[in-house]
Amino acid sequence: MLDVIIKGGTVVAPEGASVMDVGIEGEKIVAVATPGTLEASGVRSIDATGKIVLPGGIEPHTHINVPVPDYWAGGKSEVFTQPPESASRAAAFGGVTTYVDFAGNLPLNPGAVPPADPIMAQIEKRRQTFTGHSYIDFTFHYILAGAVSPQTIGEIGEAIQSGLASFKVFTTFFAKVPTGHLWAVFQEVAKHGGIMAVHAEEDDIVTYMEDKLVSEGNDHGSNLHLVHNNLSEDIAFRKVIRLAESTETGIYFVHTTAKEGVAAVAEARAKLLPVYGEALHNYLEFTCEDYKKPDGLAVHTYPALKFPEDRDALQQGLVDGPMCTTATDEWTTYKDVKLSGDTIKTVCGGHNGIETRMPVTFTKLVSTGRISLNRFADITSGNAAKILGMYPQKGAIAAGSDADIVLFDPDIKKKLTLDDLHVDSDYSIWEGFECHGYPVMTMLRGKVIVEDGKLLGSSSDGRWLPRRVAPGVLAQPAA
C-alpha cells in the first residue's frame, strides 16, 4: 500500500529523465511508473507537474560544529562553526538530504596531536554531536592526522567494518601525514575496502611561499593563490596518485582547485585508476581576482581560488568527467570571524554553502545547457553516493532506494539575498547571485521536511548512515 505518489514530474532516474510517477511506501521508493498507473486511492498525492524530481542532494564535505582556530578568528577562542541544527536546516532548504562530515581531529592547530581515544570512540563521540540535532541523514569521513601510529592503523579495519568507509588525510597544514605514513595508511585502507579522501597540497611549496611572501612584506590574503598554488596541487596530486596506484587504493580528491589537478585526475582515470575529483561550487564562480574586491576574502576556501582558466577547467571537468562531485567544504561562521584575518596565514577557511550548492550548480551548468539533468543528479548526489559507499540506498530515484527526493522548479528566477537562506550567519558570498532553478520541496526517507518555504521536518529526523564502498568503485572509475 503506497503512502505517497509524486505525480507528473520529470523524474531523473538512473536510466534517464522522463515524466513518471514515483510511488513511496514508508521510507522507501517502491515504484517509478508510467504516469497514472499507480493505485492512488487514499494516497497522498504530490503534484510535480512542471517540476524536476531529483535524488536528494548529498553534500560530501562539511565541517559542522568544530572549533575555529584562534588565528583564523582574530584571536578569539571558543568560536565554533555552526551547529548541526542550523547546518542541516539550511541543507534541507537547499535540497540536501545527506551530508558527510568528519570525525577525528582537524589538524589546524600548531603542535596538534592526534587524539588519544581509539577511532571507534571518536566516531561515537562525533555521532552524539549529530544524533537528535540533524534534520537530514549524516555520516563521517575519519581524519587521520600527523604521523599515524601503528596502533591507530590497526584500528582502521574495525572502523571500516562498522560502516565508516572513508578516511581523510591532509598533505599540508600542521598535522600533515608524512609520505611514509600515507603509504602505510593507504595499504591498510585498501586492504579493508575503504577509500581515501585526500586534501593534497605540496607542503614544501606552501611553506616556502608563505615564508617568502612574509619576508617580502607581500603577505596580504589576496596572495593566497601564490601560496596554495597550481604547482603545489600538480605535484601533490601526482604523488598521491602514484602512492595509490602502487597500493591499489581508491582516491577521492577533495576540493580540486587547479587545471593541473583536473588534468592529473583525468590522466589517472584514463589509466583506469579509481580516482575521483570533487569541485567546490564557489570555485565554479569566483577566482583569485575576487580576493582584491572589498570583503573579497569572504569567497576564500582552502587551498585557494585560482585563475579564470582553472575555474573553467573545473566547470568543464564537471561537464565531461574527471570531476565527479560538487561539495562546499561547509564552514559557517559570522562575517566578523570570516573577515578577521587578512594575511596568508590568518584568512579563515570555508564559508556557508550547503544551501546554495544545488541551485548554483543548476544555474551554472543546467540552465546554460552545458549538462543534462542526469549529469546534474550525478554530480550533486549519485556520484557521491557511489564513491563514498551509499549507493543505491542514497543517490538514486529507483525502487528500493530511500525516498530522499528534491523537487526543483526550473522556472524560478531569483536573485539570492540573505533572507532566502537559513544558516546561522550574517553574510553570503552568493548574495546577488541570480539563480535559474530552485528547490521547492525536500523529502527525507518519505517525510516532507521542507515545502513551499516552510520547515516541516524535525531535528531528530536525521540518522547516522553506515556506508560500504562497492568493490567496483575501488577497481576502476565507476562514477
Q: Which residues bind Zn ion (CB under 5 A)?
A: 329
**Least distance between Zn ion and beta carbon 94 (Å):** 18
Nearer to Zn ion, 283 or 376 (CB): 283
**Least distance between Zn ion and beta carbon 346 (Å):** 18
Nearer to Zn ion, 329 or 420 (CB): 329
Nearer to Zn ion, 329 or 402 (CB): 329
Closest of 400, 412, 395, 466 to residue 56, by C-alpha: 395
User: How does strand 166-170 pair with strand 16-25?
Assistant: unpaired
Preceding omega of 392 cis (within 30 degrees of 0): yes
CA distances from 412 to 285, 428, 431, 478 (A): 20, 20, 16, 33
| 225, three cell numbers | 593563490
Closest of 248, 256, 250 to residue 277, by C-alpha: 256
Nearer to Zn ion, 201 or 329 (CB): 329
**Least distance between Zn ion and beta carbon 140 (Å):** 12
**Least distance between Zn ion and beta carbon 164 (Å):** 17
CB 289, CB 311: distance < 8 Å: no
Q: Nearest residue to Zn ion, using CB? A: 329
Nearer to Zn ion, 310 or 329 (CB): 329
- Beta-carbon contacts of 139 under 8 Å, excluding residues fewer than 6 positions away, are 98, 99, 100, 101, 163, 164, 388, 390, 464, 465, 466, 467
Residue type, position 274, single letter? P
Nearer to Zn ion, 115 or 321 (CB): 115
**Least distance between Zn ion and beta carbon 66 (Å):** 10
For residues 358, 201, 252 and 55, what is the CA-based torsion angle, rounded to 10 degrees?
0
HEC secondary structure over 77-143: CCCECCCHHHHHHHHHHCCEEEEEEEECCCCCCCCCCCCCCCHHHHHHHHHHHHCCCCCCEEEEEEE
Nearer to Zn ion, 233 or 329 (CB): 329
Taking the C-alpha atoms of residue 8 and residue 21, their distance in angstroms, rounded to an integer, is 6
**Least distance between Zn ion and beta carbon 99 (Å):** 12
**Least distance between Zn ion and beta carbon 102 (Å):** 8
